[in-house]
Structure 1
Amino acid sequence: MPTHFKKPFILLAILVFLGSNLQCKQAQKPPNVLFIAVDDLRTELGAYGHPIVQSPNMDALASEGSVFTNHFVQVPTCGASRYALLTGMRPSKPLHLNNNAIEKEISNAKENNVPETFIHHLKRNGYYTVGIGKISHSADGLVYDYEAPVSTKKELPYSWDELLFDAGKWGTGWNAFFGYANGENRQSLKKQVKPFEAGEVDDEGYPDGLTTKLAISKLRELKDKEQPFFMGVGFFKPHLPFNAPKKYWDLYDREQIPLSPNPNIPGNISLKSLHESGEFNQYALGEEKASLSKSVSDEYSKKLRHAYLASISYIDAQIGMIWDELKVLDLDKTTIIVIWGDHGWHLGDQRVWGKHTLFENALKSALIIKSPFEENQTKKVESIVETVDIYPTIMELCNIDMKHQIDGESFSDSFTGATPKKDQVAYSYFRNGISLRTAKYRLTKYYRQDEPTIELYDHITDPNETENIAQMNPDIIESLMPLLEKGNTGLYGSN
């Protein structure tokens, strides 16, 4: 062929290939989404470098997808964190810091142009949506008090095509949430219970095993559905009580479990920045009470950490079973998997047992995303991302437009290893304060009388936040404070 004919021929061939490839992509069914919410899961996984925890399934998912090493929640309490996740919005009024934020803001509202949640938006765009377990704040997605009969009122009235839960021998979702192996629960036993249990039961002897069974059964039904699906699976553990089948406790040698690297109250702070571990101390048969005035013993601390790790291993096994079923059904090639911890947890760190602080331990949580698309295979993402960013990221991965405005910004570019955006920050809110996390610093401002109201931690030299250095670094405070004030969405008056 003469040279002058080759170039047009090659160009035509390229255009034909690109056109056919585009048609192929357009004809493809949109990806499914499996969203797994894990209650109180901080970054206590092998994928995050923990030396002891047995989490092979989540670690494997992370190795095949992306593990986000700097994911921070908006609010360190269950219901409010999930409100931010579901709406993509930062808190703008005190109600948004409470566990009943979803109930008060969404459950009674009429449907309008703005979707109530990102799940609702997926549903409006052709997805079949199924919720199993704790995705919103309620244990089973229904609105009722801890000790009340089960209601039929959905916490998210327009988000779900199906809302499923198996309460088993516990009878109600909230009983199951606080359930023990014998079918009793924290409420029925009037809190005369321990904060942990090694049950002589199989995986279905606790509620999360029943959730796994239900999820697997539903996946088999969804396999041949013409619509793409969104399945939300909400696991209870490692939320208190730290209950898990004994075989998961047996994975650990308690003597090898490390103690907290930061067990003392940080220097130069007000105790108002911390708390007296009230949620933990509700479990009246605990061997020791936690308080800011005195640490629990090393022996008891190791026992509690053992229980937390056993609970994580139990959930890891459940996630492994669901992932295995995805592969058996050949759905793994078309399904985006997201594993999200709704906030962190102090395991004796800063002398606290629980969440509910603006310290790193309560705000940093696990986030793993495994996408079936080859371009989304960055193994370790160090960019700072926030929970509110998950909403637009899922929409972008599913190629769904958003005409409504939210606070979150997609971080899908981080999958490709693209250069991180400048001024990457995360905002968190609680205890009358706002906390700003940058790559190097955590700056927290409290709107209260008790001094000091400003805390600064250098995460390069002090990653465990042991010393507030605000007073010694007024220049850093001055440079960062305008950025922190940008995060004041009206929660604490005008900025």
Structure 2
Amino acid sequence: MQPILLMILILGSTLFHISTARKNVLFILADDMRPEIAALRDNDSPSQMHDKMYTPHLDAFTEHSAVFRRAYVQQAICGPSRASFMTGRRPDTTRVYNLQDYFRRVGGNFSTIPQYFKERGYRTLGMGKIFHSGQSAGGNNDAPSWSSDETFFHSPSRRGYWNPIKKEHSWYSINTTLEREHPIGDQEVTDHAISVLQRLAPKAISGEENFFMAVGFYLPHLPFIFPERFLQYYPISDIKQPSNPYAPLNMPDYAWHSNGELLNGYGDIKSLNISGAPNTTWPSQLVLDLRRAYYASISYVDSLFGQIMTELDNLGLRNDTIVMFGSDHGWQLYEHTAWCKHTNFELATRTPLMFRAPGLTDQGIMSDHLVEYVDIYSTLVELADLPAAPLCPENPAAIQECTEGTSLVPIMKNSSLPGKPRVFMQYPRYRQFGRVMGYSMRTDKYRYTEWVRFNETGFGPDWTAQEAVELYDHTNDQEENVNRANDAEYASIVEQLKGHLHEGWRPVAN
């Protein structure tokens, strides 16, 4: 063979190897984070978002990512949401509706996203808050998800210096000296992530071993503990009260939660003896302070995210690593006089979701398709060019590898595809006669919810035992301030949406 021809073949083979090499995955989660990011603000429509968010690193990330601006979780509380998207299955399949149950015990021995990658040769490791901790993750952060020779990392300060402060303060800003003496847990998680990337980089770059690394921030979860320097981006004069500090008109009691997470968790709030009833007026300054602290916490998370992204670039891993950023659910900041999550409202169920996939999202993609967090599993698998996990059958409890979501990669490749016409979420309430489940569906124009008796044996709705109905028309009521379910002019829409809700997610799965 001629030397020149041989050289061409060698170069071609090398180029081919580089272009088809496996990608690493960096899976990053915040906690309790609604889409409060500057780059996601839509100036053409009313929004509860703060209009001057400082999130430069996440904003830069959106420029080279597929950003799904209408992404919804399956249940607006940490444990059930994380069990759902980490397994790609909905709450009625995982059977996790609270902060105690472990999906492998109550639902089935389902493969998680990192486990799927591990079983295909990836080194998988986690740190911070990925699954909800404690017994809801088997007491071991779901050990089957991670490589056996990797220790799941929790920040040393998580149970240390900050504990007494967390019990007494719903928010707390700290000066540089205190931050240096007693690092905040999320900074410790970030430092660990950077050191691990440095350790993994040589083998990842050489192609010897790819990694799936999950990094979970605790902020902006309560209590909001953050460096005080981030308050400079949010002068108190710029902080506004929500435009709807009142419960929705005609809201059924089932839709409400008592704000217990905030009212009962922190000494500064407990001492005020505020009622958890809807339409309770909270002290104006307290509302402004909490909203400001939430925004500052997001900017702090943004800075930590930026540190990790900078190190990824410095190590030469940018073009070899898929990066996902998301959260477990949204958050309410006194809209409807509600705080935290625990509802089916828009602000509780909607959260950021973005993927940076080298070679696919380099020019940036902004999508207004309706998507769900159960779609993450299939999406990451396809982005990594691994064999697709099949769609789960009707009774998937005995099947280890399947998902109840659909890949978002086709939308990334062709934004003109229609996507899902509706997405689904749920939230339980407990009454003396048993469990009631609020099954909610979001379409392009509407949010429709039915509160029905829950079948404790079949783990599903009893549509014949309806307790209450909600309908919010997003064409003229984006804040969900008026329940139209009993309005005569919406009767035909209610019937149509009822049919779609009762059909469930399966008919719209691609």
Counterpart AA for 2:231 = W
Structure 1 range deviating more: 207-216 or 260-269? 260-269
Residue in 2 that maps onto 1:438: 443
Counterpart AA for 1:410 = S
CA shift, 1:131, in A, is: 0.4
SS at structure 1 position matched to 2:441: strand
CA shift, 1:479, in A, is: 1.0
SS at structure 2 position matched to 1:164: coil
**Matches of 1:21 and 1:309 in 2, distance apart?**
50
Residue in 1 that maps onto 2:143: 156
Q: 1:427 aligns with which of 424, 429, 432?
A: 424
CA shift, 1:156, in A, is: 3.4
**Matches of 1:109 and 1:456 in 2, distance apart?**
34
**Matches of 1:425 and 1:376 in 2, distance apart?**
28
Residue in 1 that maps onto 2:482: 467
Residue in 2 that maps onto 1:123: 118
Counterpart AA for 2:267 = A
Residue in 2 that maps onto 1:96: 96
CA shift, 1:275, in A, is: 1.2
Q: Deviations over 1:211-259 (max 9, x none)?
A: 0000000000111112111110000000000110111123210110222
CA contact (8 A) 2:254 2:468 kept: no
Residue in 1 that maps onto 2:431: none
**Matches of 1:75 and 1:122 in 2, distance apart?**
25
Counterpart AA for 1:84 = S
**Matches of 1:389 and 1:327 in 2, distance apart?**
27
CA spacing shift, 1:22–1:386, aligned 2, 3 Å: farther
Counterpart AA for 2:36 = E
1:483 maps onto 2:500 in alignment: yes
**Matches of 2:219 and 2:380 in 1, distance apart?**
25
CA shift, 1:297, in A, is: 2.6
CA shift, 1:94, in A, is: 8.7
CA shift, 1:159, in A, is: 3.3
Residue in 2 that maps onto 1:42: 34
Q: 2:355 aligns with which of 369, 372, 376?
A: 369
SS at structure 1 position matched to 2:311: helix
1:323 maps onto 2:323 in alignment: no
CA spacing shift, 1:375–1:308, aligned 2, 3 Å: closer
| Equivalence map 1:86-485=2 (5 Å) | 86-92=86-92, 95-101=95-101, 103-105=102-104, 116-138=111-133, 143-144=138-139, 153-161=140-148, 162-168=150-156, 170=157, 173=158, 175=159, 183-185=161-163, 192-200=167-175, 201-202=178-179, 205-225=183-203, 226-282=208-264, 283-286=266-269, 288=272, 289=274, 291=276, 292-374=278-360, 377-401=363-387, 402-403=389-390, 404-421=401-418, 423-431=420-428, 432-447=437-452, 453-472=468-487, 473-485=490-502
CA contact (8 A) 1:81 1:343 kept: yes
Structure 1 range deviating more: 117-126 or 417-426? 417-426
Q: Deviations over 1:256-289 (max 9, x none)?
A: 0222122210011113211110000121222743
CA spacing shift, 1:256–1:290, aligned 2, 3 Å: farther
**Matches of 1:120 and 1:336 in 2, distance apart?**
17
Structure 1 range deviating more: 194-203 or 260-269? 194-203
Counterpart AA for 2:220 = P
Counterpart AA for 2:409 = S
CA contact (8 A) 1:442 1:457 kept: yes
CA shift, 1:139, in A, is: 7.5
CA contact (8 A) 1:371 1:377 kept: no
Counterpart AA for 1:317 = S
Residue in 2 that maps onto 1:32: 24
SS at structure 1 position matched to 2:125: strand
SS at structure 2 position matched to 1:339: strand
CA contact (8 A) 2:411 2:419 kept: no
Structure 1 range deviating more: 247-256 or 454-463? 247-256
**Matches of 1:397 and 1:94 in 2, distance apart?**
25
Counterpart AA for 2:404 = D
Specify every segment of 5 or more residues in structure 2 that has no aligned partner in the other structure, as ranges: 1-7, 42-49, 391-400, 429-436, 454-463
Residue in 2 that maps onto 1:66: 66
Counterpart AA for 1:470 = A
Counterpart AA for 1:35 = F
SS at structure 1 position matched to 2:169: coil
SS at structure 1 position matched to 2:282: coil
Q: Deviations over 1:289-340 (max 9, x none)?
A: 3632412132211100011011111111000000000110011111111111
SS at structure 2 position matched to 1:75: coil
Give the aligned length: 447
CA shift, 1:454, in A, is: 1.0
CA contact (8 A) 2:134 2:141 kept: no
Q: Deviations over 1:385-442 (max 9, x none)?
A: 0000000000000111125432111111121243233652110010311100011111
Identity of aligned residues (%): 32
Q: Deviations over 1:111-161 (max 9, x none)?
A: xxxx520110111111111101111111899755xxxxxxxx342334344
Q: Deviations over 1:74-104 (max 9, x none)?
A: 0100010001111100111694211234x35
SS at structure 2 position matched to 1:464: coil
CA spacing shift, 1:390–1:108, aligned 2, 3 Å: closer
CA spacing shift, 1:235–1:139, aligned 2, 3 Å: farther
CA spacing shift, 1:349–1:452, aligned 2, 3 Å: farther
TM-score (norm: length of structure 1): 0.84
TM-score (norm: length of structure 2): 0.81
* Aligned-residue RMSD, C-alpha: 2.8
CA spacing shift, 1:423–1:369, aligned 2, 3 Å: closer
Residue in 2 that maps onto 1:4: none
**Matches of 1:368 and 1:75 in 2, distance apart?**
19
**Matches of 2:405 and 2:481 in 1, distance apart?**
30
